[in-house]
C-alpha cells in the first residue's frame, strides 16, 4: 500500500493534469444525471450518451418518463446492455420519486438506495456530483487503478472504497473519484496500460515492478 507521501504526490499529479474533473455523462438536471448513472451500469459513458441524447428531449422528468411507458422507453434504451431491466428500474424509480420525493432526486444515501436499481455505487456517484460529497464509486476503472498502483488494494469494491477513504488526502477527496475513473479509462487501461504517459508512475507499485524487470510498457 502506498505511503501518505506517495498518495499526496499521486493526487497532486492528477490534479495538475486535470484541475476540474467532471463526469463524461451528459446531463442538465438532477434527474437526468440519475437516469444516466443508472444506465451506465455495464455500459460505457459514450453508449449512454448516445441513448440519452434522444431520450432526454422527449422525457427528462419522472412524470414524462412514466408517460412513455415500458415499450416506448425500452425503444430508446435498446442499444444498451440489459435494457429491459434498466427500463423497469427507471420506471419504478420514477414512480417512487413522484410518490415519495415530490419528483425530486434525494441527496442522502439512505433515500437514494430506496430507489429501484440504485445501489451503493450509483448513490456514491449521485452524492459526489450533485452535492460534492466525498464519496468513491468504485467501478471497474477505480478498482483496477487502486489495486494496480497500490493506492488501496482490495478484493471487493467495498474493500477498495473503504481503503480509499483512508488513503486519499483530505484536500483531494471531492474530485478523487473522477480523477481515478478518468485515469483508468485513458491511461491505466486494462490491457496495455500507457505507463510511459502516466504522471504517477514514479509512485506506482506496478510500474516499479515493471521497471525493475526492465520491461518497457508502450
Cell 428531449: give the residue.
57
121 is catalytic: yes
Task: Name the active-site residue from 4, 99, 139, 194.
Answer: 139
- Scored b (16 or more CB within 10 A) or e, 84-105 reads eebbebbbebbbbbbeeeeeeb
- Scored b (16 or more CB within 10 A) or e, 169-192 reads eeebbebbbbbbbbbbbebbeeee
180 to 12, 54, 175: CA distances (angstroms): 12, 29, 9
139 is catalytic: yes
Residue 27: φ, ψ to 5° = -160, 160
Reported residue count of the chain is 218
End-to-end CA distance of the chain: 25
- Residues whose CB is less than 8 angstroms from the CB of residue 195 and which lie 6 or more positions away in sequence, other chains included: 201, 204, 206, 207, 210, 217
Task: Name the active-site residue from 4, 121, 155, 166.
Answer: 121
Residues acting as catalytic residues: 121, 139
Amino acid at each position: 500500500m502506498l505511503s501518505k507521501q506517495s498518495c499526496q504526490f499521486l493526487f497532486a499529479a492528477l490534479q495538475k493534469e486535470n484541475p476540474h474533473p467532471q463526469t463524461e455523462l451528459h446531463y442538465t438536471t438532477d434527474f437526468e444525471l440519475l437516469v444516466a448513472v443508472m444506465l451506465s451500469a455495464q455500459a460505457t459513458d459514450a453508449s449512454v450518451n448516445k441513448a440519452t441524447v434522444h431520450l432526454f428531449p422527449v422525457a427528462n422528468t419522472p412524470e414524462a418518463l412514466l408517460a412513455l411507458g415500458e415499450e416506448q422507453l425500452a425503444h430508446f434504451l435498446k442499444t444498451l446492455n440489459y435494457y429491459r431491466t434498466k427500463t423497469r428500474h427507471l420506471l419504478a424509480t420514477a414512480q417512487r420519486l413522484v410518490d415519495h420525493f415530490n419528483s425530486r432526486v434525494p441527496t442522502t444515501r439512505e433515500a437514494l438506495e430506496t430507489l429501484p436499481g440504485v445501489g451503493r455505487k450509483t448513490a456514491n456517484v449521485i452524492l459526489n456530483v450533485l452535492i460534492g460529497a466525498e464519496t468513491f464509486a468504485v467501478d471497474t476503472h477505480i478498482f483496477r487503478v487502486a489495486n494496480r498502483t497500490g493506492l488501496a488494494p482490495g478484493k471487493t469494491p467495498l474493500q477498495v472504497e473503504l481503503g480509499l477513504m483512508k488513503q486519499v488526502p483530505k484536500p483531494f477527496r471531492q474530485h478523487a473519484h473522477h480523477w481515478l475513473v478518468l485515469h483508468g479509462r485513458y491511461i491505466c487501461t486494462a490491457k496495455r496500460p500507457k505507463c510511459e504517459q502516466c504522471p504517477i508512475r514514479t509512485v506506482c507499485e506496478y510500474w516499479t515492478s515493471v521497471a525493475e524487470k526492465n520491461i518497457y510498457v508502450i
